[in-house]
Structure 1
């Protein structure tokens, strides 16, 4: 081996840094002449063989993740290789010609607001990808953000992951939040550091003054005070920055995408609030936004481009508007392209995607169909139309389209995923699980496929397998609140109440507005007899959404459980104000009235539930209890018989036996296996 070369191939051109943790070199690869790289030497704290063995494993694991990250996105510095030499660890990284962001921060010369927003958006988009892989950068600072010379794009470099593996410390204390200093690193620790950078560039503050600036805090709240009377800043932008740098990480933004959403609203790039809410709900329920973007990208690579300059310009303007969320504007541009060239299949496809994002699934389906008429071999047009059919409830048609897409492109993970969703809707559980498994095989990081497969497995009572799927999602993306929530539901079914509590709490910590997690955690607390904790969870839901009916019903059940029947009645009555046809509220309020001895009111509530839904078994059963107390023997028997028949049809064997037992008692016959006869009716949560 040539002693002048690192790893026998890297010739040192320049020593870039010589610090306590190791050295950084600019090198040339002699095997690939002219290829320049960055080599970083990382010095282990000990030469103990056992320590080195542990570090090698940790090092290799982290290197593999970063290597994949760099391959997935060209705005993340690529990890080329890693090696060990003389008991010292080295990493080889991509050399990116350009200038660090420090060169753009000049004392007394602040950047414009639009420039700051652009910088924030670019880095947040990168962080969203980084965090989705379960990686935290750990060392966000201007020196680690490079303005690439070739295209002027910002690139994120020098992840602190390896420093953490070796020494568990980071140098840049001026950008580091308190939880990171204390070793309690969070994903939004990166968001804090980026917020500090944004404020610094907005003020025109050099790095050497950051520490002093962070010392200016509100005495009451402890939050950083950075706006002075001579600094004119958009109030909404200031609000975003303040939330990024909150002292308490729990009050900070919890994900990069949350910050991006608020920045887009600030720049009027998002639709109105109602459409935004619909879009978020759509993404939560189907998890297909990424599928559409990737599908469209592949379509664009395979399809002919518009031929004239006018078409090309209009088309590109439409794409740009689509990419920024201005779907109405994108549709206008694609309309003009289609007017110029009615045979432009790509314009129909992109316009259909825009209609899809706006919730106009009929038009999205029509545009995909037109694209297929013009290009019958386009797998992604079938794929897009499949999702439109799914949203229209036409699951058989959707399955046919996904199947055709798979025939044309057998490795399309998203087509398998979409077909799995449609098959699940049609109760083809075996087929759906097979499709989700195929999607995972082609895309092992497809968290939504794991999530949906886990949910389906839980429904099929394959609970251990379901938990394994949710575990995998959390391993891939530890900040996926849905995975913790779904695992919590599964733990609850397994009677693992404390494990469920932990999962619901983790979901809430990631998403403090996760209503369903509060609801289920409240139910577990209630089952455990933790009266105050349960009440607090239900109250929190109603603070977030005062019109969330289930919170009133569940809080009413909780109050009923410890004898607060009047409180229960108040909650059920509030639920009925919001939904006068809520059967659960009538059933449960009837139970509370029954406990208070108000048989007339109880009977009215049960009868009202039956009038709304003549097939509601619980209401018949509960009214049977009332009629028994009222000595109305024939009426009670009729109600219990009706309840028994419905319970049997619904497969609720225990309740069926209860109803049969009541009939036997009333008919003076020998009752089935003895049990305690209920003092009041059966309760209903939903």
Structure 2
């Protein structure tokens, strides 16, 4: 007897995955006789009603995007419909007659180079479109690439983005890069997976043997070692594939268009090689400089002959540094310096490694030694500037950045570093000037736009801030930080729904972006979306059960709709993690007060004051309790202290509230109202 789904509309003709979970079916649609489709069940990890509500919204949003994408590109599998049945999620997809790429990648039968270039180019062209819609496939492998029977073109099928929206379970690790396994998927995670497919094709490896590649890694760099003398492949194609599958996503190609451009060059006339530029690595905070100079620079400038042992030690140090093994790099550079105490570059590189280890004093010392040996080394000034900045020596840092700029006026990174330091000195005009100069020299410099945007927002120049974040997103649509920062700015502009969209975009790019969940939860809470806000706070605590701010914010949210006992539970959990958390004491006191537990409320406010004698809100709230306890003089003393502190802090409304309560008490007038200061009722840490 045939099985049906969705009230009999879809008649199951065949189970396509032999009873595996989730199940996939070949079906026919009763509304379209003789038409065939694929119905795929997506795993649902929870039957919790609140979780289901959140999943429904996320599922519908992602499915709608994929539906539109399939309609506008004929080499992307069309999403026909999506539905829920018995708390399980299903998608209905186009059935594409043809054969998966697994039929072409056969064990022991490597594909030719031209065949691999052709299928890479075809899939990359599709990924350019997919990524332009803000979608990441997430599950690229030979089984999800189909050669269509009708025209022999490759079609991309079975987008993993929907399944990952429903469940956090990670499967198919063979083709998946480490950042995706860790829940931090990037656009170039798709490029990594496609690169592994290319390696499999060149080696003639089926999927069940791909996992062996993970064990074949360079001991020093951690990169995959896959080439052997039996593979007939050009050096240029090997270089492209190696860059696609770099372990660190920051060192890979960032966009599909970049890979396509390099593939096209394989058939073009050889171009004159360019002189290697210095590569400078600026981490997220922008407080690190790293020189990636080749060993050849050292050979050319070393004052005495360089032994093979020195060459090998130096290269091993460089390899360890680039692989993130900074302790090992320091050891190797130590040996190089022992053999050649005049080697400026070794001091420079060791300083970089010390910086990454957080030893800023030693990083400064090494950069200084490099400058003694080579006073014209702009990069050493640059590196020492970052070390000075971390040590709080901002004036010295600015002097070094300025000297680096004098030696190399085209160094965008030096302007950027000086801009960051000027922010610390509150030289806002100078900082904006430096960020702008960095952008003028390097128009695609997203970190400079980002930091300038943050500074614009601090200066209440919100339109300019939005424009900077817009620019970052235009340059790199996968920059989660830019969406997050734009969302913060939208919130300040009272554009809460625009902020929600940006926080959501940031989370689609980085599903473990805790700060985005926290702020989106706050917006949901402000809008009265109780379930959505709670789910965001809960998600943070699933990712990091020790993230104190999530307990504080969830407690505030619970307090807002009258769940005072739940709020107390959250504040208590926060205090277990941090016994000196003033916000938790103050807010828990508020919740105790609402429940009529004056004694506990008084104890919490007093504890907040004991931890920080300048906490105005705690004095004000304790004044409320003392008034209720008929302790008039104690209440007046607390309100006076609160008023003084509020005035010093520029909290005008709260200052006026405290003064009003003092007047009421001194005039023996009406009983004190239990409202808190308008601008200080809740502390959010």
Q: CA deviation at 1:401?
A: 1.1
CA distance in 2, matches of 1:640, 1:619: 10
Aligned-partner Cα distance in 1 for 2:340–2:190: 50
1:374 matched to which residue of 2?
A: 373
Deviations 1:356-398 (A, max 9, x none): 2222222111110100111112111000111111222222221
* Residue in structure 1 matched with residue 208 of structure 2 by the alignment: 227
Please state if 1:260 is matched with 2:247. yes
Verify the 8 A CA contact 1:304 1:346 in the aligned structure 2.
no
Instruction: Evaluate the alpha carbon distance shift between residue 258 and residue 200 of structure 1 in structure 2; reply closer, same or farther with a 3 A threshold.
Output: closer
2:384 maps to which residue?
A: 385
The C-alpha deviation readout for 1:162-188, integer Å capped at 9, x for no partner, is 9969xx999886573434999xx9665
In the alignment, the residues of structure 2 paired with residue 298 and residue 476 of structure 1 have an alpha-carbon distance, to the nearest angstrom, of 33
8 A contact 2:286–2:417 mirrored in 1 = no
Query: Aligned partners of 1:401, 1:181: CA distance in 2, in Å?
Result: 47
**2:544 aligned residue:** 545
Structure 2 CA distance for partners of 1:600 and 1:530, relative to 1, 3 Å: same
Alignment pair present for 1:176 and 2:163: no
For 1:165-564, list aligned pairs within 5 A: 176-179=156-159, 188-198=189-199, 200=201, 204-205=205-206, 226-227=207-208, 233=212, 260-261=247-248, 285-287=284-286, 291-293=289-291, 296=293, 300=297, 304-305=301-302, 307-310=305-308, 311-564=310-563
Counterparts of 1:500 and 1:181, CA distance in 2: 22
Name the SS for the 1:308 alignment partner.
coil
Does the Cα contact within 8 Å between 2:146 and 2:155 map onto a contact in 1?
A: no
Match among 149, 160, 164 for residue 125 of structure 2:
160
Displacement of 1:318 in angstroms is 2.4
- Counterpart-to-counterpart distance in 1, 2:598 and 2:284: 43
1:255-274 deviation line (CA, Å, top 9, x unaligned): x999724999xxxxxxxxxx
Shift of residue 431, structure 1, vs aligned partner: 1.5
Equivalents in 1 of 2:677, 2:465: separation in Å? 38
2:245, 2:595 → 1: CA distance? 48
Residues 298 and 440 (structure 1), Cα distance of their counterparts in 2 relative to 1, 3 Å cut = farther
Q: Is the 8 A contact 1:372 1:378 kept in 2?
A: yes
CA deviation profile, 1:227-258 (whole Å, cap 9, x unmatched):
38xx98478899x9xxxxxxxxxxxxxxx999
Residues 484-518 of structure 1 deviation map (CA, whole Å, 9 limit, x = unaligned): 00000000000000000000000000000000000
Contact 1:576 1:582 in 2 (8 A): yes
CA distance in 2, matches of 1:629, 1:163: 66
Q: Deviations over 1:195-228 (max 9, x none)?
A: 44455567625xxxxxxxxxxxxxxxxxxxx438
Question: What's the secondary structure of 1:393's corresponding residue?
Answer: coil
**Cα deviation, residue 314, structure 1:** 2.9
Change (3 A) 1:299 1:198: closer
Listed one character per residue, the Cα deviations across residues 125-175 of structure 1 (whole Å, up to 9, x for unaligned) are xxxxxxxxxxxxxxx9822599xxxxxxxxx8996289969xx99988657
Find the aligned partners of 2:366 and 2:325 in 1 and give their Cα distance: 18
CA separation of 1:141 and 1:605: change in aligned 2, threshold 3 A: farther
> Deviation at 1:463?
0.6
What is the distance in 2 between the residues matched to 1:388 and 1:584? 34
Checking the alignment, whether the CA contact within 8 Å between 1:542 and 1:548 is kept in structure 2 is yes
Shift of residue 641, structure 1, vs aligned partner: 1.3
Q: Distance in 2 between matches of 1:563 and 1:233?
A: 56
| Structure 1 residues 323 and 521: CA distance shift in structure 2, 3 A | same
CA distance in 2, matches of 1:609, 1:297: 56
TM-score normalised per structure 2: 0.64
CA distance in 2, matches of 1:480, 1:629: 52
Unaligned runs of 5+ in 1: 1-101, 112-118, 120-139, 147-155, 206-225, 241-255, 265-281
What SS class does the counterpart of residue 513 from structure 1 fall into? Answer: coil
Pairing 1:27-106 to 2, within 5 Å after superposition: none
Helix, strand or coil for the counterpart of 1:160? helix
Distance 1:679 1:432, change over 3 A: closer
How many Å separate the matches in 2 of 1:431 and 1:605? 45
What residue ranges of structure 2 are gaps of 5+ in the alignment?
1-100, 134-144, 163-185, 223-242, 252-280
Partner of 1:626: 625
SS in 1 for 2:633: helix
> Aligned with 2:208: secondary structure?
coil
Contact residue 191 and residue 245 of structure 2 kept, 8 A:
no
SS in 1 for 2:637: helix
SS in 1 for 2:620: helix
Instruction: Kindly indicate whether residue 653 of structure 2 is the aligned counterpart of residue 654 of structure 1.
Output: yes
RMSD between superposed Cα atoms in Å = 4.1
- Higher RCO (CA 8 Å, separation ≥ 6 residues): 2
Shift of the 173–574 alpha-carbon distance from structure 1 to 2, 3 Å rule, reads farther
Indicate how the Cα distance of structure 1 residues 549 and 345 shifts in structure 2: closer, same or farther if over 3 A, else same: same
How many residue pairs end up in the alignment? 485
What are the residue-to-residue correspondences of 1:137-152 with 2, within 5 Å?
A: 142-144=116-118
Give SS of 1:292's match. coil
Normalising by structure 1, report the TM-score: 0.63
* SS of 2:290 mapped into structure 1: helix
Secondary structure, counterpart of 1:178 in structure 2: coil
Looking at structure 1, the residues matched to 580 and 674 of structure 2 have their Cα atoms a distance apart, in angstroms, of 32
Deviates more, 1:567-576 or 1:301-310: 301-310
Counterparts of 1:299 and 1:657 in 2: how far apart (Å)?
Answer: 70
